Structure 1
Amino acid sequence: MERLCQLVKTGFKSLWRKSLVAGLIAVSVSATALQPAHAQRNLPIVRDAEIEALLNDYVVPLLKVAGIRRNRVDVVLVNAKSFNAFVSGTKIFVNLGAIVDSDTPNELIGVLAHEIGHLAGGHQDRLRQQLDRAQTIAVVSSILGAATVIAAASQRNGAGARAGAGIAMGGTELAQRGLFAYQRTEELAADRAAVDYLNATKQSSKGILKTFERFHKDLSLVRDRINPYRLSHPLPRERIAALEILAQQSPYFNKQDASSLQVRHDKARAKILAYTYGPNAAENAFSNAKGSVAHQYGQAISTFLYRNPRNAIPMIDKLIRSSPNNAYYHEIKGEIMLQAQDAKGAVKAFSDAVRIDGARSPTMMVGLGHALVLSGSEEDLRRAVGELEVAISLDPANSNAHRHLAMAYGRLGDTGSADLATAEAQFYAGQYKSAKQFAARAKRAFPKNAPQWLRADDILRFKNPKS
């Protein structure tokens, strides 16, 4: 009996977790140039210096009023077209689709303020406690139900067996509903916190209301078939009702974004559209604003990606002449030059980008390192090693940086360092088996307990995650 109850307990725990995850997935559906980054399973992360800098400018004032240190939070871009953002640990994940679908900076800032509300409120830690509580309810119900089934079966009582199954499934349903009710409360709390942060930073709450209106319209065809008790988020109309009066009372409700910020926001949207939505997406999106900076930017990027990269050079040069100290224009020119197989031109463009960039973006340094590797002279290869080592010190998990560093060391004849850099690249790309193979080779090339030997040993000792 004890063994059977343990099996039932384990089975229902697994079933409960699967059913809960299915519920969470069901409700979440509603809600460089763009270089692919290290793999996080099923989460396609991208890196882009320009868009990361823009989002950094969005979140810094909000984090300050929320009492959160900026150096404790990272904003991560996710290559997904759905309008969604979420927090995990100390990271705020933002889908590219959320940026594209936000017509104004204020709409996206409202979403970021909501996610910061979750961080400041400690909602993740409390959610884990609620998960444990809900799981306990489900497991106890499953054991009671199983005991009833066993007793009924021994007496050949079909009705009793069905009742026992009902107890087990009913407990799971009760646990799920309780958890979702708790999450809905936390979502409303994060909404309220977002309005407070926006007021404290003298920004409008109109954008977050517009986002909820968008969600409300998206649900128009299925609204009548939704069970509100099986949602982890309140219905959009409920969220609007809870915030509308409060938001409209703010003296900043009708305040508009600065025109310079709107231009940066539109350029980020144009870049994402060009890279991820197809050859004409950026130009079509800004067809009513032909000649605007965003339209020109999107057209230049689309031309180099999908047409003739050499035809994109005069387009980006025109933008550089209009704003010679824009590091991101020089960065894109470097990408264009690489595509046009002009490594020397790419080195010049990326060098200008790194020199101008005040944020010391490791993504730009990686671009320069890549161009220097392709340029091929021994002097350029040694410079590439220097640039890439600095980039890695700022962003250790950048698999592209390690990959280009491996190429540089390989061409310089330093096979041990090349193997170690390859192991690092594979490790941060989630290719652990291959990483261990290269680490084993690298380990043999260095003296025991040397820094390189120790790092190779760390990779070899790493235990692959089960899931």
Structure 2
Amino acid sequence: MFDFIAAMSQCRAMTTIFRHGLRRGFLGALCLLLVARAHAQDAPKVSIIRDAEIEQLLRDYTAPIFKAAGIHSGAAKIIIVGDKSFNAFVADGQKIFINTGALVEAKTPNEIIGVLAHEAGHIAGGHLVRGRQELARATILSIAGMLASAGALYAATTSGAAGRRQGNLGVDSAGMAGIMLGPQEAVKRSLLSYQRSEEQAADRAAVKFLTATHQSAKGMLTVFERFANEAMFKSQTIDPYLLSHPLPTERISNLEAAAKDSPYFDAVDSPALQARHDLMRAKLVGFMGDAGDAARRYMSDNSIAGHYARAIADNKAGRLEQALAGADALIKVQPKNPYFWELKGQFLLEAARAEEAIAPLRKAAALAPAAAPIKALLGHALVATENPAYTDEAIRVLYNATQRDEDSPEAWEYLSMAYYRKGDEAKAQLAAAEGLFVAGKYVEARTQATRAKAKFREASQGWLRADDILNYRPPGSTDE
């Protein structure tokens, strides 16, 4: 399983829970929820990124695609993975995982929309049946960890460094689980052949969805051409039957023909959508890149995106006053942008100025009332003041955040703290159990649920939820 407790203990030593500290500047709005470590010591670390601005943009990208594909937007979920490689995949039926590397490197919205349309093709085509039993009730972090471990194993079976560098679209749980569980060569080849047919079907479906929504497939074609130009695709020694995707030349040829048949091939993204895309890229570079990344990309860029990246870079470098001045300048240009207010609140919270962070975070929450990550950050600030006068507001805000998004360990953690301050131990322990459960730490979750259940009236809502946690066992678990 995953070493959640060790990661959480390390993070709690910092000013803000579930982040890597001020010097690395990676918290708050763009929050590293935890680092999941798989069974193998050399398995890759997996981070799930939560950010209200980016999540909303991706929802806006997928809404028309999902409608065209017949996918219920409320049931599908997009998860952002903190990985610099250009990759996206589907797992657990309707969860699309997309790497930050893809979001940063895609220069236009149309490129990412094409990627998401391809993944929607997997969902609409029901391509995950083989992996559903293994992942049907797994948490998001568990899924990401499992796929990361499987990806490492798969890379070892392909041709050396070329395989390890490979960027893919549509690598789903079915193929990866098959590789982990079926090492025989015949089984592996059969699964990968099955995946290749799925990839081609997803490509065709993506073009269909894009055409139906009056969008171009040019961005999708650009992405696959990028893959084709990478060194690992130029190797003549790779066995095509060991590839889970169609050979690049074949794939591009088929996709190009279908894309150019669309009457919308030359359609372009709106300036407003491109501006939001540019802000997303700047934000990710500012938070996730090193100092050199922001300097190389944005130091002489006078656009709003350039100012965004530099304000974040200033905060990471410890230049708080410059960072706050940058946030204020952004707010002056776009006073109704909730994410600029959120950024200012985040900077203040990171600087242990929680009381000052409350006002801008309240403003951000008012401008984006459905944004659960912003509410979680506001709740964090309210709790961090240690002022009892804010306890009721903290409970109200954090409870709302957990009802909108139950997959936020941070929101559950601070809700637990707020309940303890209120003297409500039953709800505090249940919230702690919920946070541990969401993080996939089921043994610790049951410990907290046992304590909570004993304090609730039998058959009450809290008692029943604690009982659910106590009775849950992850697939394949031998834990009693």
Deviation at 1:334, TM superposition (A): 1.0
2:111 pairs with 83, 107, 111, which one? 107
More helix by share: 1
5+ residue gaps, structure 1: 1-31, 130-170
Take 2:367 and 2:372, find their aligned partners in 1: how far apart are those partners?
13
Judged with a 3 Å threshold, the aligned counterparts in structure 2 of structure 1 residues 280 and 410 are, in CA distance, closer, same or farther, namely farther
Take 1:38 and 1:74, find their aligned partners in 2: how far apart are those partners?
19
Residue 243 (str. 1) matches residue 249 (str. 2): no
Structure 2 counterpart of 1:45: 48
Structure 1 counterpart of 2:57: 54
CA deviations on 1:108-133 (whole Å, 9 max, x unpaired) are 1111111111111222237889xxxx
Deviation at 1:218, TM superposition (A): 1.4
Deviation at 1:444, TM superposition (A): 3.1
Structure 1 counterpart of 2:100: 96
Deviation at 1:403, TM superposition (A): 0.5
Residue 228 (str. 1) matches residue 240 (str. 2): yes
Structure 2 counterpart of 1:321: 332
CA contact (8 A) 1:330 1:352 kept: yes
Structure 1 counterpart of 2:149: none
Take 1:465 and 1:175, find their aligned partners in 2: how far apart are those partners?
22
Deviation at 1:271, TM superposition (A): 1.3
CA deviations on 1:207-236 (whole Å, 9 max, x unpaired) are 111111111111357521211121110122
Residue 311 (str. 1) matches residue 307 (str. 2): no
- Could you say what secondary structure the match of 2:128 adopts? helix
CA contact (8 A) 2:298 2:310 kept: no
Structure 2 counterpart of 1:144: none
2:32 pairs with 30, 36, 51, which one? 36
Max radius of gyration: which structure? 1
Structure 2 counterpart of 1:123: 127
Deviation at 1:388, TM superposition (A): 0.6
CA contact (8 A) 2:233 2:248 kept: no
Q: Which amino acid aligns with 2:401?
A: A
Take 1:334 and 1:429, find their aligned partners in 2: how far apart are those partners?
26
Residue 71 (str. 1) matches residue 74 (str. 2): yes
Deviation at 1:407, TM superposition (A): 1.4
Q: Which amino acid aligns with 2:65?
A: L
Report the more deviating stretch, 445-454 or 251-260: 445-454
- Could you say what secondary structure the match of 2:262 adopts? coil
Take 1:111 and 1:232, find their aligned partners in 2: how far apart are those partners?
17
Residue 423 (str. 1) matches residue 427 (str. 2): no
Take 1:245 and 1:456, find their aligned partners in 2: how far apart are those partners?
55
Judged with a 3 Å threshold, the aligned counterparts in structure 2 of structure 1 residues 312 and 127 are, in CA distance, closer, same or farther, namely closer
- Could you say what secondary structure the match of 2:98 adopts? strand
Deviation at 1:308, TM superposition (A): 2.5
Structure 1 counterpart of 2:192: 180
- Could you say what secondary structure the match of 2:398 adopts? helix
Residue 408 (str. 1) matches residue 408 (str. 2): no
CA contact (8 A) 2:79 2:98 kept: yes
Take 1:250 and 1:458, find their aligned partners in 2: how far apart are those partners?
50
| TM-score between the two structures when normalised by the length of structure 1 | 0.79
Structure 2 counterpart of 1:135: none
Deviation at 1:460, TM superposition (A): 2.6
Structure 1 counterpart of 2:394: 384
Deviation at 1:39, TM superposition (A): 7.3
Judged with a 3 Å threshold, the aligned counterparts in structure 2 of structure 1 residues 406 and 295 are, in CA distance, closer, same or farther, namely same
1:297 pairs with 277, 291, 308, which one? 308
Q: Residues 217-296 of structure 1: matches in 2 within 5 Å?
A: 217-219=229-231, 223-287=235-299, 290-296=301-307
Q: Residues 8-47 of structure 1: matches in 2 within 5 Å?
A: 32-37=28-33, 43-47=46-50
CA contact (8 A) 1:212 1:237 kept: no
Take 2:99 and 2:234, find their aligned partners in 1: how far apart are those partners?
24
CA deviations on 1:326-376 (whole Å, 9 max, x unpaired) are 011111111011012222221101100111115x11111111111111223
Judged with a 3 Å threshold, the aligned counterparts in structure 2 of structure 1 residues 453 and 128 are, in CA distance, closer, same or farther, namely closer
Structure 1 counterpart of 2:453: 443
Q: Which amino acid aligns with 1:419?
A: Q
Take 2:125 and 2:426, find their aligned partners in 1: how far apart are those partners?
48
Q: Which has the higher contact order (CA 8 A, sep 6+)?
A: 2
5+ residue gaps, structure 2: 1-27, 39-45, 134-182
Take 1:230 and 1:340, find their aligned partners in 2: how far apart are those partners?
50
Q: Residues 197-208 of structure 1: matches in 2 within 5 Å?
A: 197-208=209-220
CA contact (8 A) 1:283 1:295 kept: no
Structure 2 counterpart of 1:393: 403
Structure 2 counterpart of 1:452: 462
Structure 2 counterpart of 1:83: 86
- Could you say what secondary structure the match of 2:321 adopts? helix
Take 1:193 and 1:282, find their aligned partners in 2: how far apart are those partners?
37
Deviation at 1:260, TM superposition (A): 1.5
Deviation at 1:392, TM superposition (A): 0.9
Take 1:409 and 1:290, find their aligned partners in 2: how far apart are those partners?
46
Take 2:461 and 2:35, find their aligned partners in 1: how far apart are those partners?
26
CA-based RMSD of the aligned residues comes to 2.3
Q: Percent identity?
A: 44
CA deviations on 1:407-463 (whole Å, 9 max, x unpaired) are 112223333332222222222222222222222332333333332233223323332
Report the more deviating stretch, 297-306 or 119-128: 119-128
CA contact (8 A) 1:114 1:191 kept: yes
2:378 pairs with 357, 368, 373, which one? 368
Residue 211 (str. 1) matches residue 223 (str. 2): yes
CA contact (8 A) 1:38 1:428 kept: no
Structure 1 counterpart of 2:42: none
